[in-house]
Each structure stands twice: as structure tokens, then as C-alpha cells.
Amino acid sequence: MANKVKSDKDYSQYFQPPSLTDAKKRGKEDIAVHYDFQIPEGMKEFGADKYYLIRTFGCQMNEHDTEVMKGLFEQMGYQATEDKFQADVILLNTCAIRENAEDKVFGELGHLKALKAEKPNLVLGVCGCMSQEEAVVNRIMQKHAFVDLIFGTHNIHRLPELLKDAYFNKEMVVEVWSKEGDIVENLPKKREGIRAWVNIMYGCDKFCTYCIVPYTRGKERSRRPQDVLAEVRDLARQGFQEITLLGQNVNAYGKDFEDISYSFGDLMDDIRKIDVPRIRFTTSHPRDFDDHLIEVLAKSGNLVEHIHLPVQSGSTEILKKMSRKYTREHYLELVAKIKRAIPHVCLTTDIIVGFPGETDEQFEETLSLVREVKFELAFTFIYSPREGTPATDMEDNVPMEVKKQRLYRLNELINELSKQGNEKLQGEIVEVLVEGESKNNAEVLSGRTRTNKLILFTGSKDLIGKLVYVKVTHAQTWVLKGDIVDAPVKNISIPS
């Protein structure tokens, strides 16, 4: 049952703050897979004439969770709206990865306070990774008591019941499980467009010392291969053109199976045979990236030549303090192996600068690794302390000004490499999945290459959702431009 709590109570009984020792003890208890999910009787018509709005923050995992919640709302008869004045329910699906992600959510809550005062019947909920943090929940209780509902990342399938409780109770409804739940298979999902996400696993057991994810998302749990394959086949039948397999650390897929031996490489080898033009995956961890996977990716076909391989730092010392469990040399060897097997591969990465104690020399090692690998894109961040993670206890003697300067220098280098990578494509013919009209000019179409680069070109609108070939005429830092060339247009179906 959800806990219905008054805002002046002590809520600590409902949460356990992220604890490294407790979390690391996890692992042995079995995770059950459920195939019998149903919207509870009595909730199937609950949303008739009502509207929902979900604001999503953070990563693709959150985007996909939002698709599940949209599916649940629609099975209850709700309709979608983007207008907060029309909405009967507003959910904030939150991200906890860095402090500024959390600040955005608190800012949004500040704006919604006035709306809630105007529309007292509005149900306002907070879900996602921030709801898994005790400090955040306490802050909402104390400073944002107008929130009606808080639920965690393991409680999404409970949305119908929680919503009902929120409607019929004046008090805040809170349901956050500090331990991960089971896998619930047949939840509805509302997907839009031509690209789809498919979860292959949940949680993370890597415990990098800066990262909150193993606490907010729980332990690694892999979906059964037959369930993943059935979902991908179904999406292929519906006409989706591109599928991205999701997991916090997809390379650990299958490690938790006790009855079968089936790895991420095996899964990719099976998915490769399904008739979908493009398969991507994110995000991978260098430690578990094995030779079998590289061999399978080298078979190409619908497996695109783009690998997002977060390195985080180029210094072995810092990697050790981050508990990444590989060295600079190991990462570079892996990259060399990948490049040998997949010659046109595009590598992208995530990097943190200003980790506690990072010296100028260690930062220079990051720059030199970036230059050596020639990443074509990187998501770069200043280290942000996360309560309850081991890195918060490390001495951080790097001034913020220095961290900002490092980030600036790193971004300049990445921009330069991105431009060089794009320039290599000048004059080449690339396969493009046409996504829609360009943001700034409706006469121009935009699409993505197999390596996920943005490309603009002129063409008829009925090419949207199809694969075409484009000759690259201009290469800029963030975008390519080109002309469609005569070649057979592949795939004609757009998912309804």
C-alpha cells in the first residue's frame, strides 16, 4: 500500500538514504518476472475526459519510462496534453545525476505552485530518480507540500493505484521502494515517431564512486532474451526504422542469468537477424566490452557503426579513484581493437572534469586520450557531488574556476575533433534516416547518418520516415549538409 502521510510527519521511515554498504550487499535474492499486469478494474475508465502531462528530465531511460507512464494513462482513458492549464494530472519525471538536474526540477515545482493554488483539483506528482533520494523527498515534504504524489523508479507499474489514492486523499501519497522490484513485462508503452527504445536491463552494479544511479535504479536485472526479441520483432512489424537498446551498462546484460549463458553479444547477434534498418545501444561500460561483442558488431548490417563508450577520465589514477575498474591503457587497447574490427566506427564518450583531487597533469592526460581516440562527440560534465556516494568523502581541492577552465578546454578540443570527423565525410554518400523538417527551415529536411550525425538536405516531405542516400557537400562542427542522390529509397512504412 502507498503511505499516506501528512506534511508535518517524519518521513524517514519510508526511505533509507543511499548507503554504499547496504546497496553492495545486494545481489543474491531472485528477481521475478511478471507477465500478468493489468489496469485494475475500476481504473479503466478513470481518466475519461481527463488530461495528463508528463515533463521528463534526464536520460533516455527516463524518456522511455515516460512512454510507459503515457501508456498507462491512456489505458485508463486519459488524453495527452502539452498545456499545463488543461492538465488534470502533471507528473515530473526527474533526474538526479547532477545537482543542476535537481535544481531544474525544484525550479519547475516553484512555477507549478501558483497553478496548483488556482486549480486545487490538479494532481501534481514527482517520480523518477530524485524520488529515490531521502533528502529530496524530505525537501518536497517541507517546502513543496502542495505536491500530491511521490513515487520511485521501481513503482511505475503502480501508477493507477497511486493516482487513485492521490485523488481520494487530501494527504500526500508517497510510495518509494528503497529496494528494487521485480521485472514487470507487459506494461503498455506509448511510442511516437520512427525510432523506438527498448529496455534490455534495469539498474547498475558498477558503483562508480561519483554516481547515484546504482542507488536510484537498483541492482542489475536483465530482461529475458525471448521478451526482448519479441518486443523488437513487434516494433519491426509496426514499421519502426531504428531501435535503441537501453541499459545503464548494456555490456553487463545476461550476467545475472543463472539458468542460461547468454551475453549482450549473443543478444545483438540475434537482433541483427530481425528486419529493422538500424539497431543502436546505449550505454556501454569499457570493462565488460568483450571480444565476442566486437565480433558481432563487425558483422554490421543493421548494427550501426557508432559506439558510445564512456571513458570519464584519461588518467589511470583518477579512473581508480572513480572505481571504473580499467586503466587508460586498457581503454586505449579496447579502442584499438574496435577500430581494427570496425574501420569506419564513430566513437563518442562521456567525460567528467574536476573529479576530487584531479591535478593539471591528470587533466592533460584526459586531453591526450581524447586526441588519441578522436572522439567525434562527448558529453562533458563538471563533477557534481551526490549525497551518499563515496566520492563526496574525497578531498576536493580543485577550485571551481579551474574546473570551468578545464571543461572549456575539453569542449574546444571535442569541437575541433567533431569538425575533423565531419570533414572526412565531405564528398561521401551516406545513408540517412529522414526524421522531419529542419527546425529553422520547413523547406529543408533533417535526418541522421548511421553514426548519428545530423544532416540537412532539400527533399520532398514524403521521404520522412524513410532511408535515403545523401552526398555530403558541407561539413560543419555540429551538422552536415548535402544533396539527395539517386539510389533506391529503402523502407516505405512509417509506424502509425
- For residue 258, the minimal CB distance to ligand SF4 (Å) is 22
DSSP notation for 226-253 = HHHHHHHHHHHHHT-SEEEEE-TTGGGT
| Residue 350 binding ligand 5AD, by CB under 6 A | yes
Phi, psi torsion values for 219, nearest 5 degrees: -80, 160
Out of ligand 5AD, ligand SF4, none, which partner does residue 383 contact, by CB within 5 to 8 A per kind? ligand 5AD
Residue 245: half-sphere exposure toward Cβ, Cα within 13 Å: 32
CA distance 478 to 157: 39
Is residue 235 within 8 Å of 198, Cβ to Cβ? yes
| Residue 285 binding ligand SF4, by CB under 6 A | yes
Interface positions, 91-130, toward ligand 5AD (CB under 6 A) = 97-98
Is residue 33 within 8 Å of 222, Cβ to Cβ? no
**Binding residue for ligand 5AD (CB under 6 A) from 386, 448, 453, 466?**
386
The annotation status of 346 as a binding-site residue, yes or no, is: no
Is residue 473 within 8 Å of 465, Cβ to Cβ? no
The annotation status of 127 as a binding-site residue, yes or no, is: no
Select 199 or 248, whichever has its Cβ closest to ligand SF4: 248
| Residue 310 binding ligand 5AD, by CB under 6 A | yes
Give the chain's end-to-end CA distance (angstroms, integer): 37
**Binding residue for ligand SF4 (CB under 6 A) from 106, 207, 262, 469?**
207
CA distance 390 to 402: 23
The annotation status of 211 as a binding-site residue, yes or no, is: yes
How, if at all, do strands 221-222 and 201-202 pair?
Answer: antiparallel
How, if at all, do strands 444-449 and 454-458 pair?
Answer: antiparallel
The annotation status of 59 as a binding-site residue, yes or no, is: yes
3-class secondary-structure state, position 320: helix
Which one of 33-41, 285-293, 376-384, 471-479 is the stretch in contact with ligand 5AD (CB under 6 A)?
376-384
- For residue 223, the minimal CB distance to ligand SF4 (Å) is 17
Which one of 132-140, 181-189, 208-216, 368-376 is the stretch in contact with ligand SF4 (CB under 6 A)?
208-216
Residue 260's CB is within 10 A of a number of other CB atoms, namely: 9
What is the per-residue binding string for ligand SF4 in 213-252, x denoting contact by CB under 6 A? xx---------------------------------xx---
Distances (CA, A) of 400 to 39, 343, 396, 404: 49, 39, 10, 6
Residue bearing cell 533533417: 446
What is the per-residue binding string for ligand SF4 in 186-205, x denoting contact by CB under 6 A? ------------------x-
**Binding residue for ligand SF4 (CB under 6 A) from 140, 200, 211, 346?**
211
Q: Which amino acid is at 440?
A: N
- For residue 99, the minimal CB distance to ligand 5AD (Å) is 8
For ligand 5AD, the binding residues (CB under 6 A) are 97-98, 210-211, 310, 312, 350, 352, 381, 383-384, 386
Binding-site annotation: residue ranges for [4Fe-4S] cluster: 59, 95, 129, 204, 208, 211
